[in-house]
Amino acid sequence: MSNQIDVRGLSCPQPVLLTKKALADNPEKLQIVADNDVAVENISYFCKKQGYKIDVTEDGEEYQIIVSK
Amino acid sequence: MKSKKLIILVGAILGIAAVLLVKFGNPGNMGFCIACFLRDIAGSVGLHQAAVVQYARPEIIGLILGGMIMALAGREFKSRGGSSPFTRFILGFVVMVGALMFLGCPLRMMLRIGGGDLNAIVGLIGFIGGILLGIVFLNRGFTLQRTYKLHKIEGFLFPGVMVALLVILIVIPTLLIFSTEGPGSMHAPILLSLVAGLVVGALAQKSRLCTMGAVRDVFLFKDYYLLTGFVTIIVVAIIGNLITGTFSLGFADQPVAHTDGLWNFLGMALVGFASALLGGCPLRQLILSAEGNIDSVITTVGMIAGAAICHNFGLASSAKGATFNGQVAVIIGFIVVFIIAFTNLQKKKKEGAANE
């Protein structure tokens, strides 16, 4: 079971807040689409601190972040 | 880039720069103050006529240009906007009402603590309280909606205005108004102010320094990254002021400050509340506006307009204390921010969108 959230265009701290809420459901995998560096940075930092693995791929002006256990 | 070493370095350089700027002419505990300096610029271009606070502060020009250069170098300059622009203008305006009640933005609050001004501790408690209030709404789904990509040239316009202001300051200063007495007449040499702004602006962009975020992230995410920078600034400012002999512990006779505890508390609580909804303190708004973020440009323009109105309508405090008009404005400010907070909760927005 995987979840997806879209944080494109959202400013700090919403991307991390939405990630935090999505992770509260304890998903196997979380897919996040983002479009600014600060959001990617903050989400990655938060998830790593929570003990998750992060895989970020840049696709043009967007980023796909895969969060997994 | 989130590196503990970087944020400590940035905090230390900012603290040293602030003490040096005071040593070389800036008003006491006002090495940097985003609210005061935007207010001085508003006065210098004639938006208000308060004779003691008019000067085109090069620190602001430097902060924006330094932030832009670092954003361009790091390929982080992106023109974007459209996230509730006028709401942001109003929130920026309200931030200024609160800041000029207290007599300083959160950054100056920290520098005032660093100078031994205990009134700023009262302000800090209010600031934290305001941010906690903002967090309640953030957790309930407060949002100013998404921002969108804009034409690249849009992002360069605000830094362009700053370049124009710098050219006017150096080449045709007769166009500007300069205070001959009071805080506006006290300033470090232009080059020193500009360079200090450039360096701090660049470092603040790289480190994402935000005085509101420092408190918010502790309560929201148990993240102490920004708080490390926050504490470093205060500690370095204390050491710097002790070295230069400008540390004076107490409530009374502090530079550009008043001792009205209730209104110091409420002024900074308003700044904290509005800044939490905006997603950044005045310094952070300035740096984001340098990265092509037009939402932050609108917020900054709101702060400038707020500063002008604060002085035109007698809302700003002085060393004598808060004004009655200012007290009324702070109360209205809280009402306005509460209305914005309640009406922008996610569920209500969805219902609104369905009716469009």
> Which chain A residues have any C-beta within 8 angstroms of a chain B C-beta?
8-14, 16-17, 20, 36-38, 41-42, 45-46, 49, 61
Q: In this complex, which of B138, B146, B220 lies closest to A9 when CB atoms are compared? A: B146
Report chain B's mean pLDDT, rounded to a whole number: 96
Contacts of residue B270, Cβ cutoff 8 Å, sequence gap at least 6: B94, B95, B97, B98, B101, B130, B330, B333, B334, B337
For chain A, 69 residues long, the average pLDDT of each consecutive 10-residue run is 86 95 92 94 94 93 93
Residue B67 reports pLDDT greater than 90: yes
Residue A61's SS3 state is: coil
- Cα gap B99→B89, rounded to integer Å: 15
Which of B76, B148, B280 is the closest to A9 by Cβ? B148
- The pLDDT of residue A69 is 87
**Which region among B247-256, B293-302, B312-321, B339-348 has the lowest average model confidence (pLDDT)?**
B339-348
CB contact under 8 Å between B76 and A37, yes or no, is: yes
Q: Do B149 and A38 touch (CB under 8 A)?
A: no
Q: How far apart are CA B348 and CA B354, in angstroms?
A: 10
Choose the closest CB to A9 out of B1, B147, B216: B147
Residue appearing with tokens 């914005």: B340
Report the candidate in B83, B126, B89 with the shortest Cα–Cα distance to residue B344.
B83
Position B1 scores a pLDDT of 66
At residue A69, the 3 state secondary structure works out as coil
**Per-residue pLDDT for B232 more than 50?**
yes
Residue B208 has its nearest CB partner, among A8, A16, A38, at A38
For range B135-149, the mean pLDDT: 97
With beta carbons less than 8 A apart as the criterion, state whether A61 and A35 touch.
Answer: yes
Give the pLDDT score at A61.
Answer: 85
Query: Contacts of residue B146 in chain A, CB cutoff 8 Å?
Result: 8-10
Q: Please tell me the predicted confidence (pLDDT) of residue B354.
A: 41
- Judging contacts by C-beta atoms under 8 Å, the chain A residues touching residue B139 are 17
Residue in B76, B83, B279 nearest the CB of A13 = B279
Number of other residues whose CB lies within 10 A of the CB of residue B249: 10
Is the predicted pLDDT of residue B351 greater than 60, yes or no?
no
Nearest CA distance, A26 vs chain B (angstrom): 17
From the list B78, B145, B295, the residue facing A36 with the nearest CB is: B78
Does position B283 have pLDDT exceeding 50, yes or no?
Answer: yes
Residue B320 touches chain A, beta carbons under 8 Å: no
pLDDT of residue B350: 45
- Chain centroid to Cα B72, Å, comes to 22
pLDDT > 70 in chain B, percent:
97
**Residue A26: its pLDDT value, please?**
87
Q: What is the mean pLDDT of residues B233-243?
A: 98
B152 CB within 8 Å of a chain A CB? no
Best CA proximity match to B36, nearest among B333, B311, B247, B327: B311
Q: What average pLDDT score do residues B171-181 get? A: 98
Residues in A closer than 8 angstroms to B144, CB to CB, are 11
Give yes or no for a contact between B32 and B17, defined as CB atoms under 8 angstroms apart.
yes
pTM of the entire predicted model: 0.95
Tell me whether residues B80 and A9 touch, CB distance under 8 A: yes
Contact A41 B144 (CB under 8 A): no
Q: What is the pLDDT of residue B219?
A: 97
pLDDT in tens, B247-274: 999 999 999 999 999 999 999 999 999 9
Distance of residue A8 Cα from the nearest chain B Cα, in angstroms: 7
Question: Which residues are registered as beta bridge partners of A53?
Answer: A68
Cβ pair B146:A20 closer than 8 A = no
Q: Chain B 189-218, CB below 8 Å of chain A: which residues?
A: 208, 213, 216-217
Q: Answer whether B80 touches A (CB < 8 Å).
A: yes
Q: What is the pLDDT of residues B295-308, one digit of tens each?
A: 999 999 999 999 99
How far apart are the CA of B151 and the nearest CA of chain A, in angstroms? 14
Q: What is the mean pLDDT of residues B182-196?
A: 98
**B345 touching chain A per CB within 8 A:** no
B135 touches chain A (CB under 8 A): no
Nearest to A13 among B2, B146, B220 (CB): B220
> Per mean pLDDT, which range of B45-59, B200-214, B335-349 is the poorest?
B335-349
**Alpha carbon A35 to chain centroid, angstroms:** 11
Does the complex come out with an ipTM higher than 0.85?
Answer: yes
Q: Under a CB-based contact definition with an 8 Å cutoff, are residues B312 and B49 in contact?
A: yes
Report pLDDT for B164.
98
